[in-house]
Structure 1
């Protein structure tokens, strides 16, 4: 837990410094990015004497949410996807075949193709399960004294969900360390999403951005696989499917050769 806190503090300091830099050079009504737009809104509300949650105190928090939840976890999942496609070329071939059959070679995949790409979607779900880029989810605070089974959780307790344990529970997922997209398909090859797959957590405090994250993952994954074959470069180090934990659970650095598909 101390290592997690240390890394969280590092990210927090990084974001606070970026916000400070933006405040120093900010020009009202001439935004360069999200932070400048937020700063514009703060100044506008101050001119109108509006007491708002859009303020300098909350700006680093909002930036942090976008950085960690909106980009880092998605990019980490995509890195795992590339790695697993290299490690399991037969699965990559099946994704290629399905994309070519449904989408063809004359256009890129669209969200409307999703229902016709069950194996591709199952592969992406299996990446999310086995990689579990947010293995301990997001810590939450208990709002009131709560009893869960034989346990009493006092109000104010920090609750950390172990999503990794759920995604690797052999009672839920036979051979959980095996990369097997078929576990998300029924006997007819129809996609079967499972309630036990919870990469965005569950309940009222689940990830607010899960819907856009799902769309991003599908679009990036299918576009990359439609256009490229991922191969391990000759003489590069052996592939490792053992991850490391930074802000999220990431694959170890690896080399990949992007081979354009005809």
Structure 2
């Protein structure tokens, strides 16, 4: 990104490449060069699927959609098939090269667990059929969501330069200019944390969460929900409820600060959903967002290019609620 300073650019591919490579490191045990053909192929399939799944994963849970949008449905099925082939190829490489005593990544650990179950004759959902689906879930949940949150963060910092300056002033006061922020600094950076929370609230990256199935016959506020019903949680409505959030459509990080300036986390903010089916990647995502956001604002100032179109917060909604395409410009703070 340093090479792009002062030159307007779309940050989408940078964030997608970086966040996806983190998942690649965890799952595949390797990072890819951004020009690697396999990496580009993988990201293209994932990006298309995020759009094709529809809000809340409607393509998965409402079969009628495949008749309403047959071309999208066929492309989605084809992409999933190609993803499974790609992942199975990586798994075969692991099967021939792994050291059971020294697992290197998620696939190695998964194969070890499979082997352990087979040795004792234990039936388990940890099997070779579920492996590619599990890996796809990790990529789907851990790449686009984090990258999109970072895009919203850049957009809001461009739109609210005074808030960007407050974040940078706080970091400069606590961290200084001789090193980058670390996770150990987080508790000392309440305003920076508040900004991230407000971005997650107002951006509502997963507006309808992920559809779930009701485990038992349930009654909520007089409504009967039969066992097996598809349940969709409207997280966007929760995060924009005017009875909960004063001036809900206003970007205001101070709503997450107490009067003494300390961080005030609020239970109404549930970007990762809630309950027993809360997103398993919550802790990894929070660490990634904090590290990316603080490192970027520690080194750069983001501004709207002079000749670019007006900033718009109108989102594009598929499985993910993302900002429309935009250009940004970075000024090196060093």
Tell me the TM-score normalised to structure 2 length: 0.71
State the 1:60 CA deviation: 2.2
Residue 244 of structure 1 aligns to a residue in which SS? strand
Residue 127 of structure 2 aligns to a residue in which SS? coil
Q: Is 1:18–2:103 an aligned residue pair?
A: no
Residue 316 of structure 2 aligns to a residue in which SS? strand
Q: Which runs of 5+ in 1 are unaligned?
A: none
Provide the residue aligned with 1:112 in structure 2: 184
Q: Give the Cα–Cα distance (whole angstroms) in 2 for the partners of residues 93 and 240 of structure 1.
A: 21
Q: Is 1:29–2:97 an aligned residue pair?
A: yes
Tell me the TM-score normalised to structure 1 length: 0.89
Q: Is the 8 A contact 2:114 2:126 kept in 1?
A: no
Q: In the TM superposition, what are the counterparts of 1:124-163 in structure 2 within 5 Å?
A: 124-163=196-235
Deviates more, 1:77-86 or 1:50-59: 50-59
Q: Which has the higher contact order (CA 8 A, sep 6+)?
A: 2
Q: Give the Cα–Cα distance (whole angstroms) in 2 for the partners of residues 61 and 38 of structure 1.
A: 16
**Structure 2 vs 1, CA of residues 57 and 123 (structure 1 numbering), >3 Å: closer, same or farther?**
same
Provide the residue aligned with 1:217 in structure 2: 289
Q: Is the 8 A contact 1:167 1:196 kept in 2?
A: yes
Counting helix residues as a fraction of each chain, which structure ranks higher? 2
Q: Give the Cα–Cα distance (whole angstroms) in 1 for the partners of residues 224 and 110 of structure 2.
A: 43
Q: Is 1:174–2:246 an aligned residue pair?
A: yes
Provide the residue aligned with 1:83 in structure 2: 155
**Structure 2 vs 1, CA of residues 92 and 170 (structure 1 numbering), >3 Å: closer, same or farther?**
same
Residue 145 of structure 2 aligns to a residue in which SS? helix
Count of residues paired in the alignment? 262
**Structure 2 vs 1, CA of residues 36 and 115 (structure 1 numbering), >3 Å: closer, same or farther?**
closer
State the 1:22 CA deviation: 3.4
Q: Is the 8 A contact 1:7 1:246 kept in 2?
A: no
Q: Is 1:242–2:314 an aligned residue pair?
A: yes
**Structure 2 vs 1, CA of residues 17 and 237 (structure 1 numbering), >3 Å: closer, same or farther?**
farther
